[in-house]
Amino acid sequence: MPGKTSLQAETVSLMSLLEDLQKIVGDGRRVSASPSELYCYTFDASQIEGRPDVVVRPLRTEEVSKILKLAYHQEVPVTTRGAGTGLAGGAVPLKGGIVLDMSTMNRVIDVDVANIQAEVEPGLIRDDFNQAIKPYGFFFPPDPGSSAMCTIGGMIANNASGMRCIKYGTTKAYVLGLEVVLADGTVINTGSRVLKSSAGYDLTRLMTGSEGTLGVITRARIKIAPLPKARWLILTAFSSAEEAGRAVVKVLSSGIIPSACEILDKTTISVLKQCDKKLILPDGDVILFEVDGTVASTEEDAKSIAEVCAPTATSIRRISSQMEMEEIWAARKLIGASISRLQPEKSRVYVGEDVGVPIKSVPEIIKKVQEISDDIGLPAMKFGHVGDGNLHVALFIDVTKKDHWNKLMEAADRIHLAALDLGGTVASEHGIGKARAQYMRRQHGPALDVMRVIKRALDPVGILNPGKLDL
C-alpha cells in the first residue's frame, strides 16, 4: 500500500486535531476549521496577516488546560485572541495552528467592594466591566480608544492604557492576580487578594504585557477605583503643535496632574469637525486637559491649568457640562476611523503610530514627526496621550500604490528611531507583536536575551504565540 503524500498527511493530522479538540470542549460548534470562519482570525487591526488551521472557543479553565496540553505534546502553535482590536499583529497566528478565542469566557465572577477589587474572565469587554461596577460607585480607569470592544485579557496581555493613565496608571497597576495556563497545560495562580505583597517573584507583572507568549490568562483579579465626584475639561488652543507640547510640560512641571491630557493637532481638529459639524472645538493645535476629583479640587485645578497656559495659548475654554465633555471624548475615540474624511482615496495604516518619549521630550518628538512627514511628503495626523509622553501618528496612503507603501515604511522607521534616540519606546500601549519586533534589540539590548531565557523556561517547545516580540 503506497504511503500518504505530505498533503494527505497534513489533512489526516488536521482531522485528528479537530476530533481531539471537539472531545475536549464537547461541543462541535465551538471548534471550527471552516475557511470562512478562519478568515476572520487571519488579522487584527494591523497590516499583519496569518491564517490559523483551527479556532477553538473555550468556556472553562479546564478546557484551556487540556487544549494546551494537547498542543504541547503535538507541538501545535497556539495564538490567544480576545477581540482582535490590537494594532501590532499580536493576535495574528503567524505559524498557523490553533487560535484560542477567549471571547466566550466573559463573566464578571465577583465584585468585592470591601476589598476594592473584582474577579473577571479574560473575554469581558472593558466597557461592560465598567457598567457592571458603576452601581457600586467604582470604575476601572484604563481607557483605550477601543474600550467598547477590547477585552480585559487583551488589555492585560498588552498592558493597555489610554486616555486617563497619566493620573491613574496603566493596566498593570490594577492587576492584583491572575489565573494562567502555561504551555504544557499547568494551571498557576499569581498574586492574591491583598493589595500588596513582597512574597517572591512578581509573576503577575511578568505575565502582564507578555502578549500571550508565556501563558494564557483565564481569570484576573482587578483592583477598582472610586468614581470621582466631578470632572472638568479645559480646551486650550495654541499656534503650533510644538507650542502645545511645551504647554503640557509646563502644566505637569507646575505640579498639576490632570486625569487626561490629549493633543489634537490642527489636521486632526479639521477632520473631527468634518465628521461632526456641531462639535465645538477651537481652531489650531489643541490640548484637552481633563481634571477630576471633588467639586472644589476640580475647579481649582481647572483654574490653575488655565493660568499656566494663558501666556502662550490662543484660546482657553473651561467645560463642566458632562454632556459636552462626553461628546468631545466620543469624538476623540473616533479619530482613527475618521481619517478617510481628509482624503477619501487614502487609508490609514497602523505603523509608527504608538511611540513614547520622556515628558520633557514631547515638543521635540512632535517636531521630529513633522519634519519626517514634510521630508518624505507623507501627511501625518498627530494626536495622543502626550501627558504621559505617548504620541499617536496617523499615516495614510493610497494602498494601491507601491511607492506610497515605500514612503510609509520609511516614515514609520524614522519615527520609531527618533523616539528611541530621545530615550523613548516604539510601543507605549499598543504592544510589539510582529509589527515592531525588529526594534526589540535596539530598545532593550542584552535585556532581550533575558526575555528569551524566560520564554524558553516557560515555553520550551515554543508553541505560545510564536514569531512575536522577537522571541
- Could you tell me the pLDDT band of residue 5, with boundaries at 50, 70 and 90? very low
Average pLDDT over residues 402-419: 97
What whole-number distance in Å separates Cα of residue 67 and Cα of residue 254?
53
Q: Is the dihedral of CA 411, 412, 415, 416 positive or negative?
A: negative
Length of the chain: 471
What whole-number distance in Å separates Cα of residue 357 and Cα of residue 415?
11
- Quote the pTM value: 0.94
What whole-number distance in Å separates Cα of residue 164 and Cα of residue 55?
35
- Backbone phi, psi, residue 174, to 5°: -115, -5
Measuring CA to CA, which residue among 399, 401, 400, 426 is closest to residue 413?
426
Which residue(s) pair with 290 in the sheet? Answer: 233, 260
Residue 185: other Cβ atoms inside 10 A: 18
Tens-place pLDDT, residues 75-94: 999 999 999 999 999 999 99
Residue 208: is its pLDDT beyond 50?
Answer: yes
Residue 6: other Cβ atoms inside 10 A: 8
pLDDT of 8: 45
What whole-number distance in Å separates Cα of residue 1 and Cα of residue 75?
29
Q: Which residue has the cell 475615540?
A: 333
What whole-number distance in Å separates Cα of residue 339 and Cα of residue 264?
13
- Could you tell me the pLDDT band of residue 11, with boundaries at 50, 70 and 90? low
pLDDT of 379: 86
pLDDT of 27: 77
What whole-number distance in Å separates Cα of residue 430 and Cα of residue 168?
18
What whole-number distance in Å separates Cα of residue 431 and Cα of residue 347?
22
- Strand spans (E) along 166-248: 175-181, 187-191, 216-223, 225-226, 230-238
Tens-place pLDDT, residues 131-154: 999 999 999 999 998 999 999 999
Average pLDDT over residues 150-167: 96
pLDDT of 10: 64
Domains belonging to the chain, first-starting first, are: 6-102 (3.30.43.10), 105-226 (3.30.465.10), 230-338 (3.30.70.2190), 343-431 (3.30.70.2740)
Coil, helix or strand at residue 384: strand
What whole-number distance in Å separates Cα of residue 126 and Cα of residue 144?
9
Coil, helix or strand at residue 148: coil
Average pLDDT over residues 39-51: 95
Measuring CA to CA, which residue among 62, 75, 54 is closest to residue 105?
62
Alpha carbon of 211 to those of 11, 115, 396, 466: distances in Å? 30, 28, 27, 11
Tens-place pLDDT, residues 30-41: 999 999 999 999
pLDDT of 313: 97
Measuring CA to CA, which residue among 310, 328, 332, 322 is closest to residue 237?
310
- CB-based contact 60:8 (threshold 8 Å): no
